[in-house]
A and B are shown apart, each in its own frame.
Chain A
């Protein structure tokens, strides 16, 4: 069965650089969520989209932005990267509000 696809799997950036993470949800899933998981931490909700509109916002820094495109894929844009942004970034999608979230394998971002 198709799963949530995230790219790239690994990304290394320097401080103050910009990064773009991509997420391709499971087909027919119209809701996308982004989570950030720091080392040894639980996943923290960043932002979600439903039908290409932002539906909720969590602890996402102002330096980050995201959008969902017409084909339902989503991109998380991160600017002015800081060392503390080093984390595993997960994307998840769901079919509807009563459906479980299905997570991708994540993008590991390392900021040096």
Chain B
């Protein structure tokens, strides 16, 4: 069965520090992979996506993610975190089992220290 694991429930970093949020997936075929960000009480905003091709994808707000098939991972990175990046981050895999839909990870809540 398809699944997404985000091992870190909470992460705290200082402003200006680098960030890496982990995501591991389980899927039989080449997955469609996504990272979304959610501010409190708000909707999910797409940060970036991977469908195929270059395994390093660039997203909005200075985020990037790297697809590593051998590790079944799609980790999100940012070289220098801003206080406004504090939010919850969800990794998702798009699955065509049945029909197309997303399966989300449980999310990582990011706290940024001034």
A contacts, CB < 8 Å to B: 4, 31, 33, 41-45, 48, 50, 55-56, 58, 88, 90, 92, 94, 97-98, 100-106, 108
Pick the 7 closest A-B CB pairs, nearest first.
A105-B43, A56-B99, A103-B44, A42-B104, A55-B99, A103-B43, A97-B100
Residues of A within 8 A of B49 (CB): 100
B contacts, CB < 8 Å to A: 32, 34, 36, 41-46, 49, 51, 90, 96, 98-107
Cβ contact of B106, chosen from A42, A55, A98, A104, cutoff 8 A: A42
Docked Cα-Cα span, A33 to B103, in Å, equals 12
Docked Cα-Cα span, A85 to B40, in Å, equals 19
Give the residue name and chain of the B residue nearest to A31 (CB): B100
Docked Cα-Cα span, A55 to B32, in Å, equals 19
Residues of A within 8 A of B98 (CB): 56
29 contacts between A and B (CB under 8 A): A4-B43, A33-B101, A42-B90, A42-B105, A42-B106, A42-B107, A43-B44, A43-B102, A45-B101, A45-B102, A45-B103, A50-B99, A55-B99, A56-B99, A58-B101, A88-B41, A97-B100, A98-B51, A100-B34, A100-B46, A100-B49, A102-B46, A103-B36, A103-B44, A104-B43, A105-B42, A106-B41, A106-B42, A106-B43
